[in-house]
Amino acid sequence: MHRIRRIAASLAAVTLIGSAVPAIASATSVITISGATASYPLVQLLAHKYVKLLHNKVSFRISQGGAQIGINDVAAGRVTIGDVSRDPLPTDPPGLVFYPIAKYAICVVTNKSNHLANLTEAQVQAIFTGKDREWSQIPGASASGPIDIISRTSTAGVLTNFKSLFLANKSVSKLAAEEPSEGLLEQQVENTPGAIGFLSNYRADSGSVNPVGYNGIGCTLANASSGQYSGVARFYEVTKGKATGAAAKFISWIDSSQVAHKIVASQWIPV
Amino acid sequence: MQRLRKPWSDHRAELLLGAVSLSTGLVVLFMIAFVAARAWPTFAHNGLGWLGPGGSLKVQVENMLATSTKPPASAYHVRAWPIVYGTLLITALAVLLALPLAVLSAVFIVELAPTALRRTMIRVVRLLASVPSVIWGLLGILVLVPFVGNHLVTASERTSLQNTVQLTGAGLAIAVVLLTLMITPIMVALTCDALATVPPAWREGAAALGVNRVRAIRAVTLRAVRPAIVAATVLATARALGEAIMISMVSGSVFFSPRPGDGVAFLFEPVRTLASTIVDFREGLGGAPALNSTLYAFALLLLFSVFVLSLAGYLVKLPLRKYQVRG
């Protein structure tokens, strides 16, 4: 019977702590964020700095899962802000407001053993639509044999941007592998000597794959910042209706403060 | 506090435990109702025809996404045969491979191994059975996929199929091998349990009649646990059917139906299953209603198959009771 009393006592203690925590937390405001995996590293850095500057008067809960999850969550009111790595689409739920927070480059990438330096728009389209099937058809490629196209599942925000920026909205070949995340795409390109895929510049620069130039311009942060590299897309913070309260302050801080600009400029491009 | 100190009466304990087990049943019912309701539009627009072949599943999924919040009836059009076929193919191959492996190892562990080895083996098997599937997936994507892609797939296979399918290494063979590794320990463990309950007198009787050990195992022990082996197979099949994350990681992520006519290359062709498709497109859940409903329809089909299988597993175990052998 002692055990039952002990269990009862600990349950009571847990209940007390549980009810005390919200009381403490109510002094600070909580911003909940979910969405794109591609923008997660940036938002994480920004949120961390913002919490420090405000001396913990605000706190964040950030989860990642994909741009479409950000859209769905914010439209349903499950989070304050949705992170989205693509432009607004006509199929998005009505009433969402998109605030651009940074730009990022999309790099075409190949396996490290394939020292391909550059592709033209026409070549990228021929490869990804499945017209050219062999590396021997691509001048400058050191890989041989068939081209293995590694793409993303059709829900991915980066794929949507890739299609509009590089493929003139043509569809990726039905032969392509459709990876559910940037990490799996990177892994597959790293594994496969004949592979070609596309990644946001943050991942493409990680050293595991070979970033390929586009229309004669290298896919580097410097070229993307200067505006020479054309494969550039935007990260958005999305709210349901106009941003209000803590979320609005956070978004306008990203937009206006020097500190936030420095974080964005470290690996991405300020808007 | 005074009341807590008293021991609970049988009646109160009975009520409490009854409520708990009843609520598990309610959760199952609620789950089926929820999934069925979400899947309904897909059934309403396609009937049962969505299980059949027709058109490109990739294009159909893209159409679902393109229509978002207010989809026209045409957006629900889906013909999921490639992944139904993929699910059946992977499951059947894995179970066929696992069955002889499992029965032979179980016989060795229970009947032939020395006691010390038997105890260790049983522990190892139970440990293997509890390895999370994502670990198998990681092993696959980091070790097996590069190995198969770089050493087993030949250049001529890749070139001859280059306009049909990409052979990157990720595909049928790796998914089947890993799935076999995942379900064999479950089958071994269940078969071991059954073998251990065969009355020693039966074996002794066989020995007294002058039958040698191997023949006695075949004619007496294995025959007695046959229903348990079937039951283990059925449960392993259910496990294999529902495996999602590992298959999503190693099977190539393309809507493609592997073609046995391609010879050895058949083994390296990519494939998707019902469960791995749900994982691959999980981002679409809660979004475009047509895709949402289709994914729930896949889930409902899986739920249905697993229930049928576990019912079958229960039914085949019934004859065991006749011999007072517990499976």
Judging contacts by C-beta atoms under 8 Å, the chain A residues touching residue B5 are 1, 4-5
Residues A133 and A216 in one domain: yes
The residue that leads in pLDDT, A17 or B192, is: B192
Q: B287 pLDDT exceeds 80?
A: no
Please list the residues that pair with A199 across neighbouring strands.
A107
Best probe of the A interface among B283, B292, B294, B295, by most A CBs < 10 A, is B283
- B35 part of a folded domain: no
Token digits of residue B113: 């191994």
pLDDT digits (tens, 9 = 90+) for B89-121: 999 999 999 999 999 999 999 989 999 999 999
Answer yes or no: do A176 and B254 touch at CB < 8 A. Answer: yes
What are the angstrom distances between the C-alpha of A201 and each of A183, B95, B301, B303? 13, 43, 40, 41
Number of independent structural domains in chain B: 1
Q: A9 pLDDT exceeds 60?
A: no
Judging contacts by C-beta atoms under 8 Å, the chain B residues touching residue A71 are 287
Q: How confident is the model at residue A240 (pLDDT cuts 50, 70, 90)?
A: very high
What ipTM score was computed for the predicted complex, to two decimals? 0.82
Task: Return the sign of the alpha-carbon dihedral for residues A165, A169, A175, A178.
Answer: positive
Closest among B239, B85, B52, B166 to A179, alpha carbons compared: B166
Choose among A1, A130, A155: nearest Cβ to B284. Answer: A155
Choose among A72, A145, A153: nearest Cβ to B155. Answer: A145
- B235 part of a folded domain: yes
Answer yes or no: do A68 and B284 touch at CB < 8 A. Answer: yes
d(CA B192, CA B292): 42
- B3 part of a folded domain: no
B58 close to A (CB below 8 A): yes
- B252 part of a folded domain: yes
pLDDT digits (tens, 9 = 90+) for A62-104: 998 888 889 989 999 999 999 999 999 888 888 999 999 999 9
Residue B95 C-alpha from the chain's centroid: 9
When mean pLDDT is compared across A255-269, B68-82, B169-183, the lowest value belongs to B68-82
Q: How confident is the model at residue A32 (pLDDT cuts 50, 70, 90)?
A: very high
**What backbone phi and psi angles, to 5 degrees, belong to A108?**
-75, 135
- B17 part of a folded domain: no
> What secondary structure letter does DSSP report for B48?
G
Burial class (CB in 10 A: 0-12, 13-18, 19+), A230: middle
d(CA B95, CA B184): 8
Who's near B64: CB < 8 A, 6+ residues apart?
B71, B75, B76, B78, B284, B288, B290, B291, B294
Q: In which domain, by residue range, is B207 found?
A: 81-322
pLDDT digits (tens, 9 = 90+) for A189-232: 999 999 999 999 988 988 899 999 999 999 999 999 999 999 99
Residue A69 C-alpha from the chain's centroid: 12
Q: How confident is the model at residue A16 (pLDDT cuts 50, 70, 90)?
A: very low
* Amino acid identity, position B247: I
Alpha carbon of A223: minimum distance to chain B alpha carbons (Å) = 32
Q: Which of B4-18, B83-97, B280-294 has the highest mean pLDDT?
A: B83-97
Comparing alpha-carbon positions, the chain A residue that sits nearest to B7 is A1
Confidence at residue A107, expressed as pLDDT on a 0 to 100 scale: 96
d(CA B116, CA B114): 6
Average pLDDT over residues B268-293: 90
Confidence at residue B3, expressed as pLDDT on a 0 to 100 scale: 60
Nearest-10 crossing angle of helices B226-242, B81-107? 140
The answer to whether the beta carbons of residues B109 and B192 sit under 8 Å apart is yes
Confidence at residue B6, expressed as pLDDT on a 0 to 100 scale: 72
In angstroms, how far apart are the furthest CA atoms of chain A?
Answer: 81
Average pLDDT over residues A123-136: 95
Best probe of the A interface among B148, B163, B168, by most A CBs < 10 A, is B168
Q: B138 pLDDT exceeds 80?
A: yes
What CATH code is carried by the domain that includes residue A157? 3.40.190.10
Who's near B203: CB < 8 A, 6+ residues apart?
B216, B220, B221
Choose among B4, B158, B291: nearest Cβ to A146. Answer: B158
Closest among B324, B252, B322, B65 to A91, alpha carbons compared: B65
Q: How confident is the model at residue A183 (pLDDT cuts 50, 70, 90)?
A: confident
A204 close to B (CB below 8 A): no
Comparing alpha-carbon positions, the chain B residue that sits nearest to A36 is B283
For B98, what's the count of Cα atoms within 13 Å in the CB-facing half-sphere?
A: 32
pLDDT digits (tens, 9 = 90+) for A137-161: 999 999 989 999 999 998 888 899 9
Q: In which domain, by residue range, is A170 found?
A: 105-232
- The radius of gyration of chain A's CA atoms, rounded to the nearest angstrom, is 22
Confidence at residue A25, expressed as pLDDT on a 0 to 100 scale: 46
The answer to whether the beta carbons of residues B38 and A34 sit under 8 Å apart is no
User: Above pLDDT 70, what percent of chain A?
Assistant: 90
**What backbone phi and psi angles, to 5 degrees, belong to A80?**
-75, -40
Judging contacts by C-beta atoms under 8 Å, the chain A residues touching residue B281 are 153-155, 180
Q: B285 pLDDT exceeds 90?
A: no
The answer to whether the beta carbons of residues B216 and B206 sit under 8 Å apart is yes
Alpha carbon of B187: minimum distance to chain A alpha carbons (Å) = 31
Token digits of residue B222: 């294995």
- B14 part of a folded domain: no
d(CA A212, CA A107): 7
A:B CB pairs within 8 Å = 123
Residues A216 and A115 in one domain: yes
Best probe of the A interface among B3, B58, B166, by most A CBs < 10 A, is B166
d(CA B233, CA A80): 48
Residues A53 and A110 in one domain: no
Token digits of residue A238: 């999305």
Q: A12 pLDDT exceeds 60?
A: no
Average pLDDT over residues B266-280: 94
Answer yes or no: do B149 and A192 touch at CB < 8 A. Answer: yes
Alpha carbon of A22: minimum distance to chain B alpha carbons (Å) = 28
d(CA B271, CA B253): 7
Confidence at residue A1, expressed as pLDDT on a 0 to 100 scale: 47
A187 close to B (CB below 8 A): yes
Residues A172 and A227 in one domain: yes
Alpha carbon of B239: minimum distance to chain A alpha carbons (Å) = 23
Residues in chain B: 327
- B43 part of a folded domain: no
* Amino acid identity, position A208: S
What CATH code is carried by the domain that includes residue B284? 1.10.3720.10
* Amino acid identity, position B220: V
Number of independent structural domains in chain A: 2
d(CA B90, CA B22): 35
Confidence at residue A138, expressed as pLDDT on a 0 to 100 scale: 93
Residues A89 and A118 in one domain: no
Answer yes or no: do B158 and A8 touch at CB < 8 A. Answer: no
Confidence at residue A21, expressed as pLDDT on a 0 to 100 scale: 46
B288 close to A (CB below 8 A): yes
Residues A114 and A84 in one domain: no
Q: How confident is the model at residue B316 (pLDDT cuts 50, 70, 90)?
A: confident
- B175 part of a folded domain: yes
Judging contacts by C-beta atoms under 8 Å, the chain A residues touching residue B142 are 187
Average pLDDT over residues A100-115: 95
